[in-house]
Structure 1
Amino acid sequence: MKISVQSGDWSRILSPNRHFVCVDEHDDYISSGPGLEQSAITEVFRRFFEEREHEFCTPLYGEYTTLQSADLQISSNKHDELVLFGAATGLALIYGHYPGHLNPLLLIYLLNDCNISCLHHELVSSYLPSISEMLERWLNIGPMDSIAEFSSHFASYHNIQVRRSESSICTQLMSTIACSLHGRSEAGHHKLAWEMLHNVVIGPIDIDNAYFAAFLKGFLLPCATGIDLVDVSLRNCGSFFGGPEEFIRTAEMSTIRDFASLNISISCDLKQPSLDELAQALSAAGPQFTGKTFQDIIEDFLAGTGAPCPELLASMMDRFSPEVKTCLSGLRSPTFRMRLMCWAVTGATRVLLEGEPMQLSSTLYMPRVDSQYDCQSHILHYDVELPGVQRQHLKVITAYSSIFKERNLVVWGMSLAPNWRVPRKFGLCIHENSLAPPRLSPPVDLQRSSREFHGYIAAPYDTMSAPLQATMERAHGEFYRVLRIPAKTQLCDIIAVLSNGILSFTIRCDKPLMQDEIPAAQEMVEETVEVH
């Protein structure tokens, strides 16, 4: 995630071909697979939304929070932390995990390009019914009517004090909005209703401040191909039915609030004689078990709190890792056992909804390769065409397939987008390559007739007066190529050099196997090849 913060490209984490691998301090393989992915992502969410949420969010209305912000400049370290928190929030929604206590209306607002009009009456009523009723009362009065009943709201959310004088309601200005309260027009009266909603959901600070700008850079999860969370998951590609509102509601459904949230069915396959024996055993166990069924016992346990055997747990506490001790700190939570069960079964402390997590698909291309084998020296050469790729954006490993009895050289990485791309969303530059040529000036207003190709904006034919016309032919984004090498090849037999846009491999091979020879089975160990 930190690498993506620096590059501004989240393609690798969001790629449908992503693969999570756990290695030790020596980069030796430990485990991999979908279960590891769920565990890793769940740990990210735990750190950001349980341990550190107070660092980024502040309570605003009821149990809901908003982003901590101020009309100030922020340090580069704080900026990167906010980008990470924003990315964790976007990833949480993609994985169907609700991000902490952030106001759902705030998330819907951000997913609608920060357009406050997306928060319509029915939507506000479903989440904040008291605020919806207050806004209705505000709109039912006129610009010249008394606003005394709204004094507590303005004092709490607008920093405005409303007090009575002998003749009329007068206002003491404590913010720039205060001038709208006295002598306001009909249009100003309605506009102030939107301000009232804004300050309850987002806060009194404008969305353009440095804190929200950094948060949005991560939250949108922009990819080098030009797509982001809004484009792919919600609107342009129509990959999520129902738009931002249903997207957020789906994530809310994953939160475990009570036993009903688990949405599980407990089946018992015991025959009637065994059920009769169970009923007798439960009756003998005490009045708290009398009349209970097998399903009742399971439900009662999951809905219970605390440790079933506190003394035994206390005697073993010093043997647990710090991570386990941290998890056990929530032992008294009414949902602890339910979350623990989900964690054991799925690797996530939440309800996993049907189907795979949503994915932001980026273009995956296969670089061209030349190969040559010298039968006398038994030297194998591969030349992989990677123009413009830098060493830090490249990964090469060896991997053995026990099924096909062959060893492969796997090359993957990221070819960054050209840096003359037209910036989009909120004026943020998705990626800027510091080693590339100077940035060219973007085209003049391309108007609504502009056409987008893979996230890049090309000027329409009727804007030939623009100073720059752009087309896109070069391949970029994530690439992947698998090269076969002899089964007995060791890491020391491979020399990899990246020069002038060509990744060259020189591989020292043993003599080829004869037709009747079968390669011996080897361990499925992944090793990283150092590129010079």
Structure 2
Amino acid sequence: MVQPVRHLIEIFGSRLFSSKATTLPWPATSFIPVAGPYGDLFSCVDLPAAIYQAGGEGALDVRGENMDDLAAAYIHKVRMAAILGDYSQLLSPVRSLKIVNSDGTVHSLGDGIENECIFTTLNLFLSDSGRWGLVTDEDRLSLATSMPLRLASSVAPGRLLEVRDFGALISLALISGKPPGLMSPGLLQYVLNGKKLEALTSSFVSAWHPTLYHIAREMQAVGATGSLAPFQGEIISTLGVQVLLFSLRLMLLELSNRLDCHLSLRDERQHDALVSQFVHTGILGPELHNHPETDAFANGVELPCSTGFSFGQLARSYPGGTEFYLAEAWTSFIPNAAALDPFLVVTAPSATKLAPHFGTTANDLEPEVLFTGFLQRSGNPCDPAAFLDAQVHIHPDVTTQLPNIDSPSFRPRMLCWAATGIHFVLPNDSNYSNNPVHSAAHMRQGTISFRSCMRVVRVPMLKLVELHQAAGSDTFQDEVDSWLPLQILNAIGKVSML
């Protein structure tokens, strides 16, 4: 049994909840997770490498002239795997994803390119949320179905393949360490556990959907003979027309001066079913359970391999099961600059090396302070006209993120999207550019070299000096803050190694 909680008063939105000694209508023992066989992988230092070693076979080679071409080639590989029912090639330990020039020479490759390719491919679905995602509780996305359940037999085979691709890309993103945007962890908890509604346990719902959880507990406390009038708004908005009619019957009774009457239209079993349906529909949506599109999506998320490995088995192997695996995956998301502290290394030339180039100005530069300070602040510090002009050159996937620019997570997330390292360089640094003829011009223009394949960012010190001389000490940081976002946003999706 779920242990009763202490009496609490909490405010969620406009409703005042009085938490009573009651439970949701399913006991803690109603769902017993099935453990997978890969628990030892989670003790490995490099978890993705261990997963590829355990799950894949053969070799994967994907090429494109730019990131969009690479993503198109990658989704083709995902589709072939879906048709075969075998994703082992995508999980091969021998993987090569490359940006190649028109003459066939390699422009960029490496882990950073692979991660960006997976994210770009997944974003083809996430950015078209009206077609693939259904907004549910907490503004999270569940799977959108193309046909109601009663007409589900008419779903086109092509749609089922696309939905399977969507599920597979979510799992590939999780393996690479990226939670899939606004997709609902509840949807994944459901499909990773055999599409069992019981997997949406009381503890899971309370953690991910606290408002829904508290409303459901209040509804449960009313009992089969109590009035549902206080919950009409939530029931109607969540469960739709059928419950609307149910609620209207209640309203007619109460309008007949029977406000305190007991509703005799439901018994305990029906009341429990109503509360359960309220929770499940709030998290998953109204048409998902037993739908063929859900089956296809779940098959993609499972990521079955001919080697016997599957992503589903991996997630079920995590200590505590999928509930804890998903919590770990989502808490790895970057909420603010502090989340980068353990991973961000900012190096700059010593004052001795700076002095011959920049004289006494070098003493005021402090690159690490400038950069970490930039990441800790939020908002749009750019000149409005310059920012508007720059948006023409920014990748469309990045443009969709701009409404979040005031969030404390925006700057560190965009930086990590572009690369995962920072390095300030002197004018004669040979690592800044592969093209020595144009290197000096790029530095004078203040172009940052983002080498996402090596997770390194090289920032020209010459630009910092130029900004310092133009602004002076008082507004130097502001000028740096105005310059950096455009460099970072413009680099994403373009593989900007010079």
TM category, shorter: 0.5 to 0.7
Q: What are the within-5 Å matches in structure 2 for residues 346-365 of structure 1?
A: 346=420
Determine the structure 2 residue equivalent to 1:105: 186
The structure carrying a bigger strand percent of its residues is 1
1:41 correspondence with 2:118: yes
1:190 correspondence with 2:272: yes
Determine the structure 1 residue equivalent to 2:65: none
The answer (yes or no) to whether the contact 1:66–1:102 under 8 Å persists in 2 is yes
Structure 1 residues 251-304: Cα deviation after superposition (integer angstroms, max 9, x where no partner): 212333332333446778978xx9xx899959xxxxxxxxxx876532342234
Determine the structure 2 residue equivalent to 1:241: 319
1:260 correspondence with 2:338: yes
1:131 correspondence with 2:209: no
Q: What are the within-5 Å matches in structure 2 for residues 12-411 of structure 1?
A: 12-23=89-100, 29-49=106-126, 51-69=127-145, 70-71=148-149, 72=151, 73-159=154-240, 160-161=243-244, 162=247, 163-165=251-253, 166=256, 183-231=265-313, 233-235=314-316, 238=317, 240-264=318-342, 297-302=370-375, 303-306=377-380, 308=382, 320=393, 324=395, 326-327=397-398, 330-331=401-402, 333-334=405-406, 335-346=409-420
Deviation at 1:192, TM superposition (A): 2.7
The answer (yes or no) to whether the contact 2:192–2:301 under 8 Å persists in 1 is no
Deviation at 1:116, TM superposition (A): 2.0
The answer (yes or no) to whether the contact 1:66–1:103 under 8 Å persists in 2 is yes
Q: TM-score, normalised by structure 1?
A: 0.52
Structure 1 residues 365-424: Cα deviation after superposition (integer angstroms, max 9, x where no partner): xxxxxxxxxxxxxxxxxxxxxxxxxxxxxxxxxxxxxxxxxxxxxxxxxxxxxxxxxxxx
Deviation at 1:158, TM superposition (A): 1.6
Determine the structure 2 residue equivalent to 1:388: none
Deviation at 1:199, TM superposition (A): 0.8
Specify the code of the residue in structure 1 equivalent to 2:417: W
CA gap 1:296/1:84 in 2 versus in 1, 3 angstroms: same
Specify the code of the residue in structure 1 equivalent to 2:79: K
> Runs of 5+ in structure 1 lacking a partner?
171-180, 283-292, 348-532
1:10 correspondence with 2:72: no
Q: TM-score, normalised by structure 2?
A: 0.55
Q: Whole-Å Cα distance in 2 between the matches of residues 199 and 153 of structure 1?
A: 11
Residue aligned with 2:89, SS: helix
Deviation at 1:19, TM superposition (A): 3.2
Q: Whole-Å Cα distance in 1 between the matches of residues 389 and 308 of structure 2?
A: 55
- Which moved further from structure 2: 80-89 or 217-226? 217-226
Q: Whole-Å Cα distance in 2 between the matches of residues 331 and 299 of structure 1?
A: 21
CA gap 1:312/1:140 in 2 versus in 1, 3 angstroms: closer
Q: Whole-Å Cα distance in 2 between the matches of residues 259 and 118 of structure 1?
A: 34
The answer (yes or no) to whether the contact 1:93–1:247 under 8 Å persists in 2 is no
The answer (yes or no) to whether the contact 1:89–1:219 under 8 Å persists in 2 is yes
The answer (yes or no) to whether the contact 1:83–1:214 under 8 Å persists in 2 is yes
The structure carrying a bigger helix percent of its residues is 2
Residue aligned with 1:20, SS: strand
Q: Tell me how large the CA RMSD over aligned residues is.
A: 3.6
Determine the structure 2 residue equivalent to 1:496: none
CA gap 1:81/1:27 in 2 versus in 1, 3 angstroms: farther
> Runs of 5+ in structure 2 lacking a partner?
1-77, 355-359, 422-498
The answer (yes or no) to whether the contact 2:101–2:107 under 8 Å persists in 1 is yes
Specify the code of the residue in structure 1 equivalent to 2:221: N
Specify the code of the residue in structure 1 equivalent to 2:122: F
Structure 1 residues 318-338: Cα deviation after superposition (integer angstroms, max 9, x where no partner): 7x4xx6365356456234432
The answer (yes or no) to whether the contact 1:5–1:84 under 8 Å persists in 2 is yes
The answer (yes or no) to whether the contact 2:137–2:212 under 8 Å persists in 1 is no
The answer (yes or no) to whether the contact 2:134–2:141 under 8 Å persists in 1 is yes
Deviation at 1:133, TM superposition (A): 1.5
CA gap 1:125/1:91 in 2 versus in 1, 3 angstroms: same
Residue aligned with 2:86, SS: coil
Residue aligned with 2:142, SS: strand
The answer (yes or no) to whether the contact 2:98–2:106 under 8 Å persists in 1 is yes
